[in-house]
Amino acid sequence: MRIDIITVLPEMIEGFFNCSIMKRAKDKGLAEVHIHNLRDYTEDKHRRVDDYPYGGFAGMVMMVQPIESCINALKSEREYDEVIFVTPDGEQFDQPMANQLSLAKNIIILCGHFKGIDYRIREHLITKEVSVGDFVLTGGELPAAVMADAIIRIIPGVISDEQSALSDSFQDNLLAAPVYTRPADYKGWKVPDVLLSGHEAKIKEWELKMSLERTQRLRPDLLEDK
């Protein structure tokens, strides 16, 4: 899979993809992440990518030309499954969406900045608008990194123990069961006896019971469709 991220602040996220699981995915050849500086595509001699909004509104707006030029340059080299704009008013990003996007071959993620982007970009160039939550950030760089991490980590082979990813929260509309490690007794805080029993069927039963209990208590909305 290949993810192209368009941003005015490439230095904000470059290091993120050179560490831990993201670096492992790149080293294994399972995922490519390419970060593009939008200022490299502007026709403005001062490398500006924003201008004042029509109508006298406050703030600055990202212009059409640099974004169209960048997207067109990428599309001239390959086909893309999605051109995603990360925005607070987009469709909520969740685990099912991450699962779906992990099956794609090529994705573009556009990071907004300033007051936002010229709406014509959203009308003519974007295929999917995605939000990571009902809040506003300075730019789309952090949401883009969050999305890329969630998508790449579930590509087969990225995580050594694939069952670990499959048992994460939200994979089955359930929160994950509690997990414990050694020592079994720390200052009187004990690991549940069932996890020490070696009885696989009972452990699976406990895991499902705890997942349902935690989901009902913390995120009952996840059970509405079950």
Residues of the chain with CATH 3.40.1280.10: 2-154
135 annotated ligand binder: yes
Single pTM value for the model: 0.90
Instruction: Tell me where in the chain the CATH 1.10.1270.20 domain(s) lie.
Output: 174-222
Q: Which residues of the chain have pLDDT under 70?
A: 161-167, 169, 225-226
**Residue 3 in contact with residue 109, Cβ under 8 Å?**
yes
Do 13 and 5 contact (CB within 8 A), yes or no? yes
Residue 132 labeled ligand binder: yes
Q: Residue 226: its pLDDT value, please?
A: 52
- 179 annotated among ligand-binding-site residues: no
Q: How many CB atoms lie within 10 A of CB 150?
A: 20
Mean model confidence pLDDT for the chain = 94
Is residue 93 a known part of a binding site?
no
Was 225 annotated as part of a binding site? Answer: no
Give the CATH fold of the 2-154 domain: Alpha/beta knot (3.40.1280)
Written out in words, the top-level CATH class of the domain with range 174-222 is mainly alpha
Three-state SS sequence of 44-108: CCCCCCEECCHHHCCCCEECHHHHHHHHHHHHCCCCCCEEEEEEEEEEECCHHHHHHHCCCCEEE
Q: Annotated binding residue at 49?
A: no
